[in-house]
Structure 1
């Protein structure tokens, strides 16, 4: 998620021309990465603690969905604005300011007294935290020379892939040990480190408030309307039965109006606040489309697996975290290796390997049963962790190839924005698929399991006898047996639906290997991400 380029002022060329990077600069880049990790983490950190939060705020599950939706809406709106705001205030001042407000709103989230206050504070938290992700990407491109960008991109890739997996894990641990407000208060640790890193690592820059007043505010309005309404449409659509709901139809219409208005104003203005014309470059288009698909895989798998483990296996949040951590740990070791390979091997080959591993790991999860748990899921998680770095790093390299310095912020913002939208689309698609496929499998299983089936009758007799042995009368025991059979059917239908969801993600990821080869051959010369 990155900052848009505003052509209102000529952006500086890359300031670092030699291969030497000072410790101050590395500290600033590392601090930026910490901010990106924190912001992505907070997208899903509430998921495993949602029951506790809703209980404290006296809210229903459906009402509680707005806690995540509010964050996502604000975040997706601020991403294209980041470059404009960074040019107005300077990178250093903007990063320190937005982090300070992020910490303030995080604290207010932990102290929220009702659902309405929580939604408002989460929205403000998303608007301030969303800027941290594009700024981390931009720091890599502007502060590091081409020979060092592979390292920077590798670290950025870790923030993008580790955080979605660790969000529910960390949230579960903190909630269980210290209560749900701690998932918001913990942000003070990385937040203060980020501020210190920015103060020490970056030089002051002059402010330029004229850029703010000259900005393409009509385009910004359409962008906010389109992306905000699209996110609400995706996040709330499944729970409201999509186009059977007037609410969803209205937001779909507003999203379409906003996005079309944004495209038209961008095409007709001499100085758009973000350069949508970059989508006309083949490499960038391929990279952003695949980034969206990767977002579907990243957020989709992080959505399905905890649900399966909680609903079917009955795992606690801490147990779920112990399974999911295996998506993260191997990446710490594989990412530096991928960064080195990216400068000597065609990145299309590396990305194909990544998609094959990532998609293959989802296919491995497409054959689960009700007894599947930690041991059976370990290797699929490891394979996924091996594949994700290959995809994330190489797609960043493709996206940035041939991008002029003046368009770097736009490219960064559009690339990261597209990945986030892909995640929202993926979760919406999977939530709908999970619901419809569960109904489908329940009906099919119900056709096979009926009172005329000898196997069903035998099982009912066994269960009835078992309940009678526990002291139930024959009628009650018979009813209990029927309920038990119904529960087994529902459970198996859900297991099959989860399998279908993983199969869908895997098939899409594997299918992306073909369009990937429409991109140009690319080796990241001395440091990936430059591609000039």
Structure 2
């Protein structure tokens, strides 16, 4: 692990130009366009959350039923990500990106015009299947169309799509929904979508479509993958709502997940040409980067899950106010990400990644000391620290993942790397949702034990609350009951605050622990403008 490694792809007809070769402006247009598509696809995971209450009201659905609106999108997205390697070979990059974007816009429109919960779930699933492909395709574009010396810049752009979307999604969704109504959060996709199609049409050349490759595709492996990843996502997203293994529904999907994933691994091992190369996990740098991609996915999506819940439930913030707090984890990254991309060619990427993990972990530990009065002012600095850390590990993990990957394996590497981040996000949210429930019960019980109706302090507080309710015109008996309820609500509120703190504490510790993991990878610096090798 002391040897330096050069970030490269072997020379091939499909390989990008060598460092120092001038890149045509139309190539940059195509790169920027597909980055916009990746941002749009990730954004649509988050943007509905701020408007979910309004959507459920219109569709006359409960909160439990409404959870499937997000689950359907996530299931379809995580299933299609590994398939993009195959679809890229069959349709070519230009046709596939334009086609899947057109479908994404169609299904987005149908989501906005939906007439029932079932139709919404169906259209969200189709939207996720179309949009999910745009995430790995953005990374493929960087690796296939840019020379080695420019890839850090391209990967920095890609990193922004993954880190900004969770930060800006609630803000944008709340703003659009408040002004134009919730259907507008789906119709707004037409603006970036049309720009994406135009940019790809201009920036990429046509490639021959090879539909015959579909006939020889690894359809058995694809079937196992779809069952395994889809069932695993349902298990994770719906497990807490259905009481995990106490529900036969969840047990069924757990069994299907194990069956599908094992079948996928076995068929990939025995087939000569699997649809995606799982053997890449055998490369040390790729394996380390994939594991850390999953853990940082837990951190990014987990913190984006906990903080809005805390602000809405404890601080009583509106969606717009929540967005104003969360956006500070995204805005500074516009300035930081280019700097990280530049220094990644001069500094050991393990050092940069360690800095990013340390900052992100520290920001979560800063959030683990919240109380019931915590709001915008108290959370501002932790959001800035988080914004400073995320670019460091986003750029460097992508560098590690794509180091030494042959051109023929670039689509597989991009698909598997991005699949791990999304899967990590689903696992993180599932674990945090369960932990939040369990820790709230634990803290409620402990706080309840400390409050005795016979203690002087409790009796004094009950008398004060009773007098306050009586002063508002409530009869004494009802006022006494309301005073007891107020004490109970106060205890549960404090228990929830402590549970949220526990969640952030666990995320922070997990991120800090990953600092040791990154040092299992080889020393790496990205190629410089001069095409210098990685180490010395």
Range into which the TM-score falls when normalised by the shorter chain: over 0.9
Contact 2:167-2:328 within 8 A present in 1 as well? no
Alignment correspondent of 2:105: 103
1:444 to 446, 450, 464: 446
Q: Name the stretch that deviates more: 357-366 or 75-84.
A: 75-84
- Work out the CA distance in 1 between the residues paired with 2:474 and 2:433: 39
Within the alignment, does 1:263 sit opposite 2:254 as a pair? no
Secondary structure of 2:346's aligned partner = coil
Deviation at 1:167, TM superposition (A): 1.3
Instruction: Name structure 1 gaps, 5 residues minimum.
Output: 1-9
Alignment correspondent of 1:242: 244
1:317-396 matches, within 5 Å, as: 317-396=319-398
**CA spacing shift, 1:176–1:224, aligned 2, 3 Å:** same
Contact 2:312-2:318 within 8 A present in 1 as well? yes
Contact 1:339-1:393 within 8 A present in 2 as well? yes
Alignment correspondent of 2:155: 153
| 1:24-83 Cα deviation digits (max 9, x unpaired) | 000000000000000000011110100100000111100000000000000011101112
Deviation at 1:515, TM superposition (A): 1.2
Alignment correspondent of 2:432: 430
Within the alignment, does 1:185 sit opposite 2:182 as a pair? no
Alignment correspondent of 1:484: 486
- Work out the CA distance in 1 between the residues paired with 2:136 and 2:534: 19
**CA spacing shift, 1:12–1:43, aligned 2, 3 Å:** farther
TM-score normalised to structure 1 length: 0.97
Alignment correspondent of 1:83: 85
| 1:426-462 Cα deviation digits (max 9, x unpaired) | 0000000000000000000000112022211111111
Deviation at 1:314, TM superposition (A): 0.4
**CA spacing shift, 1:177–1:11, aligned 2, 3 Å:** farther
Alignment correspondent of 2:17: 16
- Work out the CA distance in 1 between the residues paired with 2:66 and 2:476: 43
1:115-126 matches, within 5 Å, as: 115-126=117-128
Deviation at 1:15, TM superposition (A): 3.4
2:317 to 310, 315, 318: 315
Deviation at 1:12, TM superposition (A): 4.7
Alignment correspondent of 1:176: 178
- Work out the CA distance in 2 between the residues paired with 1:208 and 1:11: 20
1:525 to 518, 522, 527: 527
| 1:326-373 Cα deviation digits (max 9, x unpaired) | 001100000011011100010111000000000000000000001000
Secondary structure of 1:239's aligned partner = coil
Deviation at 1:206, TM superposition (A): 0.6
Alignment correspondent of 2:402: 400
Contact 2:16-2:143 within 8 A present in 1 as well? no
Alignment correspondent of 1:293: 295
Deviation at 1:11, TM superposition (A): 8.4
- Work out the CA distance in 1 between the residues paired with 2:90 and 2:282: 28
- Work out the CA distance in 2 between the residues paired with 1:122 and 1:470: 48
How many positions carry a matched residue from both structures? Answer: 522
Contact 2:16-2:148 within 8 A present in 1 as well? no
Instruction: Name structure 2 gaps, 5 residues minimum.
Output: 1-10
Alignment correspondent of 2:4: none
Deviation at 1:138, TM superposition (A): 0.3
User: What is the aligned-residue RMSD (CA, Å)?
Assistant: 1.4
**CA spacing shift, 1:114–1:531, aligned 2, 3 Å:** farther
| 1:164-201 Cα deviation digits (max 9, x unpaired) | 11112211111111100000000000000000001100
Secondary structure of 1:240's aligned partner = coil
Alignment correspondent of 1:196: 198
- Work out the CA distance in 1 between the residues paired with 2:446 and 2:534: 53
Alignment correspondent of 1:3: none
Secondary structure of 1:522's aligned partner = strand
**CA spacing shift, 1:155–1:345, aligned 2, 3 Å:** same
Deviation at 1:473, TM superposition (A): 2.0
- Work out the CA distance in 2 between the residues paired with 1:86 and 1:260: 25
Q: Name the stretch that deviates more: 124-133 or 14-23.
A: 14-23
